[in-house]
Structure 1
Amino acid sequence: MTVGMINANPVVHERPERAAHPAHAALDALDVFDTVRDIKDPEHPYSLEQLSVLSQESVSVDEKLGHIQITFTPTVQHCSMATVIGLCLRLKLMQNFPPHFKIDIKVAPGSLANEESVNKQLNDKERVAAALENPNLRQLVDDCLCSDHSSSY
């Protein structure tokens, strides 16, 4: 899968240990981050956390307003997989949190050449639904969400 990679040699970071989160506590950024941290990068055998595409600090939650926001940082300015990464994040959150939560997925400001168009695509329900109906794209997203890779960390 190295043919055509934009970032063939990404920087890989160690995964820090996390303390257990009390089950009775209100939903917070750590809960959301723990849900998405093991999503695999579409081009590499590493998680989005390992590539510093995501961090706990890039997640915000307002449980009272029912709002989750994730801002991710692609590894390179011209990342062709930014939309796929965003779709993975959105689908994982939709699968794991109640439907009343409003989910915003955004690219970190200044981190992507076509940031505005990617943000628009990722936060338009009709575009997201259409993208997830594409069998090839859906397979790529599902492969990234597969948790089998997390055991190798």
Structure 2
Amino acid sequence: MSGGARLENANPLIFQRTGERLQTANDEDEDVADPIDDREIFDILSGYIPRAFNVILINFELNVVEQVRVRVDDQENTVGVEFTPTIPHCSMATLIGLSIKVKLLRSLPERFKIDVHITPGTHASEDAVNKQLADKERVAAALENSQLLEVVNQCLISNARTG
């Protein structure tokens, strides 16, 4: 980190990470219908550690994403994820939300409508960030920007690569 830069949240509160999901014989059976549920979405997201400009580490031990804030209706083809920035003025909130949305778009069947937004009351610019994340044209335009797409891709670095 350069001399003039400083962390927004130098002393974040760390939470116990949710344990791994126990696998059953039916989980491996391709002939058994397996509806997507909140834990599967949480597992998709927690398999990755979003990184923001290699300076600020946002991970699931900080409860940015919690399983209780994931809603799935497999029959209605909808997924909703609320994320909680670690501080009320987090400048990375839009990037975090966009990264979550991109990860789900890449991981789920196209039939799903994905809604990603900030947990109510946890960010000073909650309405503005939620409006950006809900606007299909703005999300599409953001993903057409090669520099921004590179930053989003950096946010989705696998745990295997980061240790």
Fold match by TM threshold 0.5: yes
- Whether contact under 8 Å (2:36, 2:72) holds in the other structure is yes
- Whether contact under 8 Å (1:45, 1:149) holds in the other structure is no
Residues 142 and 53 from structure 1, CA distance in 2 versus in 1: closer, same or farther, beyond 3 angstroms?
A: same
Q: Which residue of 2 aligns with 1:6?
A: 8
**Does residue 26 of the first structure (1) align with residue 26 of the second (2)?**
no
- Matched to 1:30, the amino acid is R
Structure 1: distance between partners of 2:162 and 2:8? 26
Structure 2: distance between partners of 1:150 and 1:55? 23
> 3-state DSSP class of the match of 1:33?
helix
Q: Which protein has the bigger strand share?
A: 2
- Whether contact under 8 Å (2:79, 2:114) holds in the other structure is yes
- Matched to 1:122, the amino acid is L
**Does residue 147 of the first structure (1) align with residue 158 of the second (2)?**
yes
Q: CA deviation at 1:10?
A: 1.7
Q: CA deviation at 1:148?
A: 4.1
Q: Which residue of 15, 39, 42 corresponds with 2:17?
A: 15
Q: Which residue of 123, 135, 157 corresponds with 1:124?
A: 135
Residues 15 and 89 from structure 1, CA distance in 2 versus in 1: closer, same or farther, beyond 3 angstroms?
A: same
Segments of 5+ residues of structure 1 without an aligned counterpart are none
TM-score after normalising by structure 1: 0.88
Deviates more, 1:129-138 or 1:16-25: 16-25
Q: CA deviation at 1:137?
A: 1.8
RMSD value, Cα: 1.9
Q: CA deviation at 1:130?
A: 1.1
Residues 12 and 140 from structure 1, CA distance in 2 versus in 1: closer, same or farther, beyond 3 angstroms?
A: farther
Structure 1: distance between partners of 2:97 and 2:70? 13
Deviates more, 1:12-21 or 1:57-66: 12-21
Q: CA deviation at 1:4?
A: 4.1
Q: CA deviation at 1:123?
A: 1.1
- Matched to 2:94, the amino acid is T
Structure 2: distance between partners of 1:150 and 1:35? 16
Q: CA deviation at 1:34?
A: 0.4
Q: Which residue of 65, 82, 103 corresponds with 1:92?
A: 103
- The percentage of aligned residue pairs carrying the same residue is 40
TM-score after normalising by structure 2: 0.83
Q: CA deviation at 1:56?
A: 0.6
Structure with greater Cα Rg: 2
Residues 5 and 136 from structure 1, CA distance in 2 versus in 1: closer, same or farther, beyond 3 angstroms?
A: farther
Segments of 5+ residues of structure 2 without an aligned counterpart are none
